[in-house]
Amino acid sequence: MNKKKNSLNLAVLGIMGTGMLTALFGFVNAQGGNPTVIETASHRFTQMAEGVYQITGTGSVNVMSNALLVVGENDVLLVDSHVTPNAANALLNSIPAVTNKPVRYLVNSHYHFDHAHGNQVFSSDVEIIGHEYTRIKLNGELGNVLEESTHISFTEGVPGQIANLERQIAETSDAAQRITLQTQLGVAQAHLTSLREVVPTPPNITLETKMTLFQTVMQGSREIQLLHMGRGHTAGDVVVFLPQERMVFTGDLMLPSLSYMGDSFPQEWPETLEQLKTLDFDIILPGHGAPLQGKEKIDQFQAYLEDLWQKTGTMKARGLTADETAAQIDMTNHATNYAQIRGPGADVRAIRRIYALLDE
């Protein structure tokens, strides 16, 4: 394992700004250094506060989501297990670069494959905590999650990606490019192999609205609140709030970009986000992308959700099909806040979901 101290990546620096970095990393800066980044072959651990690390992938393994590591005196709490057993094993193999403390708790922010399909690799000594709905989904009580449109839509293209990389390798005459493509091919092939090994594994401890853990730390104890604030991205979203550190890990309930909406409740999501805003935090650690400072981005996403719901309902009432609405709906008034919006249209999976909810 390879430890190295670096400054935060430019995306994080751009979001936080110098003043926030000084406040957030005062304990590090007081020692004369930059925020600590510990990097292994597969993972990057960015220290957000004493004992609190945002986890991202380096690209050598397809992890597909961020995670969170909270280190105490005796043990570790981890939030989210990535997309496959391969990704989760790489994460477990990387944690010793940060701490020799054992993982005691694994929290699932929600049931989606890219956050919870590494659960199976954790030993029976690890308590897996999630919302009641997350257990029901991963337990198969509402059907096999591997056969749902969400999982299929994000994974069915992997064989095609592999074939495309193989074609590019065969066609290129550039030695450096061939090495890059071969590396990408290896990552994609390992990802596909591990996708086929997934056994959905549910939490063995559940919560309905709130659970509070107290982790022993050098200064006494750290409060860790696990909160379900309402339906949004799924019916079982859990945020992890660290009141002393003034940070909240939101999974996919709140991202820097537009969240996937194929299993969402857009008509309830804005109110759930309103509840999120009642927490006293400075930093959002999202399930994808860079940290967010403050609550302005929440306001922007609430506005988008309300607008999408209203416009979709209007177009449905005019007799358009979901696919027609997805192709024609104009959300460009939100393009300043979301780079994904480049013209008329929206994710058809989101529109189909709204149509289904309206039909109910």
* Coil/strand/helix, residue 346: coil
Average pLDDT (232-255) is 98
Mean predicted confidence (pLDDT) in 93-106:
98
Angle between helices 175-195 and 85-94 (to 10 degrees): 110
**69 forms bridges with which residues in the sheet?**
53, 78
Q: Is 88:82 a contact under the CB 8 Å cutoff?
A: yes
Q: Would you state the structure tokens that stand for residue 74, as one six-digit string?
A: 């005796």
For 235, half-sphere exposure in the C-beta direction (CA atoms, 13 angstrom radius) is 9
**The two three-digit tokens of residue 324, written as one number:** 């027609």
Q: CA–CA separation, 157 vs 7, rounded Å?
A: 35
Summarised one tens digit per residue, pLDDT across range 215-228 is 999 889 999 999 99
| Tokens linked to 212 | 């509070």
Q: What is the token pair recorded at 337?
A: 């806040």
Burial readout 205-240 (b: 16 or more C-beta within 10 A, e: otherwise): ebbeeebebebebeeeebebbbbbbbbbbbbbbbbb
Residue 186 CA to residue 207 CA, distance in Å, equals 39
pLDDT tens for each residue of 301-319: 999 999 999 999 999 999 9
Residue 9: pLDDT above 80? no
How many other C-beta atoms lie within 10 A of the C-beta of residue 332?
13
138-177 pLDDT, tens per residue?
999 999 999 999 999 999 999 999 999 999 999 999 999 9
The CA distance from 267 to 162, in Å, is 38
* Pair of tokens at residue 277: 């805003």
User: Would you state the pLDDT for residue 224?
Assistant: 98
What's residue 86's pLDDT? 98
Distances 338 to 304, 335, 341 between C-alpha atoms, Å? 10, 5, 6
- In the block, tokens 């494959």 appear at 113
